């Protein structure tokens, strides 16, 4: 099968909601013609289709797609993940962890690529959404213990200064290949992106406290699908012009 035919088949399966079938077609190509052939196809797939495959990760097995996707490909997919109505952010956290912390990978390269795109800090804020108080504590004290935090929020200038203070925790102490390690890498390896993410988290927290979150969700609802449908392989969100442009 030619690359163009495989791309058409993959996109058709994704449009039908058959994510497993689409991934299988890509894996078969890698098995038959090698990783290089798969990379050629991945480079020609739009971000929304790569996203549809990698967000349905299965941590019980390695995915050749997750192992090969480049930081730039992954970043373009991450910033449009908001099209899925996944209020728990389960899929977002799962795919970020599985790709960024893959074996022999460089997490910082992925973070830099995400930070370079419009919507990158918003995507990372969504990733940390259930841990925002502990991220604030980490920004304030250098530890994740919110009990030790006095509740005072650092200004953006103070955050920038604190980002260059030697870490209280070594990376080995938080090497969980999850949100703590990601936060540590952001703060000490990508401080500007860490600060942007904290500021977005604060804005989201304020919106939640003011009851504005639901209104914002309603305004942005066009083109989204229920996560339950995507989990059952029934639907994928249609790409919107503004999201595709912001991801490129």
Q: What are the pLDDT digits (tens) for 225-239? A: 444 444 434 445 544
For residue 147, what pLDDT is reported? 62
- Res 236: pLDDT: 54
- Total of domains in the chain: 1
pLDDT at 60 (0 to 100):
66
Rg, the chain, Cα only:
19
Backbone angles phi, psi at 18, to 5 degrees: -90, 75
Residue 163 domain flag: yes
Residue 89 to residue 82: CA distance in whole angstroms: 9
Is residue 181 situated within a structural domain? Answer: yes
Beta bridge partners of 226: 85
Q: What is the pLDDT of residue 138?
A: 93
Give 136-140's long-range contacts (Cβ < 8 A, gap of 24+): 136/198, 136/201, 136/202, 138/183, 138/187, 139/187, 139/194, 139/198
237 part of a folded domain: yes
217 lies in some domain: yes
CA atoms within a 13 Å half-sphere pointing along the CA-CB vector of 119: 16
Query: What confidence score (pLDDT) does residue 227 get?
Result: 42
Residues of the chain with pLDDT under 70: 1, 59-60, 147-151, 212-248
Residue 183 structure tokens: 């936060």
The answer to the question of residue 44 being in a domain is no
Query: Sign of dihedral through CA atoms 96, 101, 105, 107?
Result: positive
Task: Dump pLDDT digits (tens) for 103-158.
Answer: 888 999 999 999 999 999 999 999 999 998 899 999 988 999 876 555 577 788 88
Question: Is 45 contained in some domain?
Answer: no
Residue 18 in any domain: the answer is no
For 110, residues 6+ apart whose C-beta sits below 8 A from its C-beta are: 71, 74, 75, 99, 100
Domain containing 91 equals 70-247
The pLDDT value recorded for residue 161 is 78
Distance of CA 151 to the CA centre of its chain: 28
Whole-angstrom Cα distance, residue 248 to residue 242? Answer: 10
What is the structure's pLDDT at 53? 92
State if pTM tops 0.75: yes
> Is 171 domain-assigned?
yes
Q: Sign of torsion, CA 98 101 103 104?
A: positive
């Amino acid at each position: 099968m030619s690359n163009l035919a495989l791309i058409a088949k993959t996109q058709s399966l994704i449009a039908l909601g058959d994510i497993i079938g689409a991934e299988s077609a890509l894996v078969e190509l890698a098995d038959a013609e090698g990783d290089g052939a798969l990379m050629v196809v991945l480079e020609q797939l739009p971000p929304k289709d790569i996203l549809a495959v990698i967000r349905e990760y299965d941590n019980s097995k390695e995915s050749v797609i997750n192992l090969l996707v480049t930081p730039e490909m992954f970043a373009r997919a991450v910033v449009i993940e908001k099209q899925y109505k996944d209020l728990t952010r389960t899929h977002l956290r799962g795919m970020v962890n599985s790709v960024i912390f893959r074996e022999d990978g460089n997490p910082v390269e992925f973070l830099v690529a995400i930070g370079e795109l419009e919507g990158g800090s918003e995507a990372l804020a969504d990733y940390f959404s259930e841990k925002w108080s502990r991220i604030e504590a980490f920004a304030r004290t250098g530890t994740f213990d919110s009990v030790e935090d006095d509740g005072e929020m650092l200004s953006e200038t103070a955050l920038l200064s604190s980002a260059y203070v030697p870490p209280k925790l070594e990376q080995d102490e938080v090497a969980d290949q999850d949100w703590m390690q990601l936060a540590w890498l952001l703060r000490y390896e990508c401080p500007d992106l860490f600060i942007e993410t904290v500021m977005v988290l604060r804005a989201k927290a304020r919106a939640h406290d003011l009851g504005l979150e639901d209104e914002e969700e309603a305004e942005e609802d066009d083109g989204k699908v229920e996560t339950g449908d995507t989990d059952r392989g029934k639907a994928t969100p249609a790409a919107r012009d503004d999201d595709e442009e912001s991801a490129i």
